[in-house]
Copies of this chain bind each other. A is one copy, B any other.
Amino acid sequence: MVQRIDVECKNESYPIFIGELPQKLEFEGSVLVVTNSKVAGIHLRTLLQCIYAKECFVCVLEDGEEYKNIQSVQRILETAFIHKLDRQSTMIAFGGGVVGDIVGFAAGIFMRGISFVQIPTTLLAQVDASIGGKTAINNKFGKNLIGLFHQPKAVYVNPFFLGTLSHREKSSGIAEIIKMAVMFDKDFFEWLSMQNLQGSSLLEAIMRAILIKKEVVVKDELERGVRMALNYGHTFGHVIEKETQYKQYLHGEAVSMGMIMANRLAVQLGYLSVDEEFRIQKILEKNDLPIYYKIPSMESFYQSLFLDKKNENHQIRFILPHNIGRFIPCTHLSKAEIMRTLEEFCDD
C-alpha cells in the first residue's frame, strides 16, 4: 500500500509517496541518477529497473558528509553537461541526506534550475532531509552555508531501503525523529519513549515525522519562523560536525549531542526542567545515540556558532525546547551565558 502526502508550497506542490516504488517511474526528458558508491552497490539495480526515460545516466559520488562540497557539485554538473542534459531533464537524488542536499543544489543551479526527484535511502533522509527543498553544501567555514531553496518534484520514501542500513545510520535518523517530537508533539514523544523502533512501530514513527515535517514546511517554506525549530540541536551540532571534519560523527549523532547541549542551555535559562532534560537524554541513549561531545576549545567553539544561518546581526540564535512539545527561539544571550553551558562540555 502506497500512501500519499502532498506538500503545498507557494509556487508548486509536490507529492511524497510512502511505500514501494512504482513499477514504472516515467520521465519525459533525460534523467541523471546521482548516488553514492555504497548505495549504488546495494540498490542501484533496483532503481534503474523502474526508470523509463529516453536516456538515463548515472553519477556515483563518494559516500560521506566530507564529500558534501563544491567538488561533488562540479562532478554532477560536469556529467550533466557532457551528456547534454537540458531544462527538460531531471536529476534523481538516490541516497541519504548528503546526496539529497548536493543533488538539489546542483539541480537548482544547472541552467538556472531543473527538476529533481528525491528517493531517500536512509531513515534520516526519509523523515527529514528529503522534504522541504533545503539544499546545501559545506565549506571550510561551516555546514550548509552555501545552498538554495529548491523544492523537489516528488519524494519517494520506500522503507524497503532501510533494511540494509547500519545500526548507527538508523539511530542517526531516529535522532531527527526525536527532535521533531521534542519541538512539536509531546504525545509523540511519550509514544516514542515507550517504543523499540522497528517494523511497524518504525513505520508509524516515519509517517508521524513526515507529517510534522510537511506541516512545518508548508507553514514556513523559507525558514523565516516556525521552520527554524527544526534546527533544534543543529546550532551546536553543526559546530561539532565542523570540528570533527564531518568524519567522526553521522549527522544525526552530532544533532543528538547538540540537543543535549541545547537542553543544558534551556535548563540554565529556565525553559526546561532537569527531569525533562533527563527524559530526552534517556530516549537518545536508548536509541544508542552519543550524548557527550567534549569541546576541545571553548573559544573556538563559541566563534564557530556565529556562522550559523539563523543568526541575525551578529547574535547567535538558539532554538531551545520549552518543556517537551514546544520550542522557544533565543537570541541576545551574553557570551557569559553561552560559555556557562559550553563549560559543562569541557574537561579543563
Cross-chain contact A86 with B312 (CB below 8 angstroms): yes
A57 adjacent to chain B (CB < 8 Å) = no
Shortest CB-to-CB span from A306 to chain B, Å, is 6
Shortest CB-to-CB span from A103 to chain B, Å, is 15
In the complex, A223 Cα to B112 Cα: how many Å?
A: 10
Q: Chain A 136-160 against B: per-residue CB contact (8 Å), 1 yes, 0 no?
A: 1001010001111100000000000
Which of B134, B148, B307 is the one whose CB lies under 8 Å from A148?
B148
Cross-chain contact B307 with A84 (CB below 8 angstroms): yes
In the complex, A135 Cα to B29 Cα: how many Å?
A: 24
Q: Chain A 38-71 against B: per-residue CB contact (8 Å), 1 yes, 0 no?
A: 0000000000000000100000000000000010
Cross-chain contact A313 with B148 (CB below 8 angstroms): no
Cross-chain contact B113 with A307 (CB below 8 angstroms): no
Within 8 A of B (CB), among A91-122: 105, 108-113
Cross-chain contact A313 with B112 (CB below 8 angstroms): no
Cross-chain contact A109 with B109 (CB below 8 angstroms): yes
Copies in the complex: 2
Which of B54, B87, B109 is the one whose CB lies under 8 Å from A147?
B109
Cross-chain contact B11 with A86 (CB below 8 angstroms): no
A167 adjacent to chain B (CB < 8 Å) = no
Cross-chain contact B88 with A112 (CB below 8 angstroms): no
Cross-chain contact A81 with B112 (CB below 8 angstroms): no
Given the known interface contacts A11-B10, A136-B112, the answer about A309 and B86 at a Cβ–Cβ threshold of 8 Å is yes
Q: Name the B residues within 8 Å of A145 (CB-CB).
A: 81, 110-111
Q: Name the B residues within 8 Å of A314 (CB-CB).
A: 84, 86
Which residues on A are within 8 Å of B, measured CB to CB? 10-11, 29, 54, 70, 74, 77, 81, 84, 86-88, 105, 108-113, 134-136, 139, 141, 145-149, 223, 306-307, 309-314
The 6 closest A-B pairs by CB, nearest first: A81-B141, A111-B309, A112-B147, A86-B311, A109-B146, A112-B148
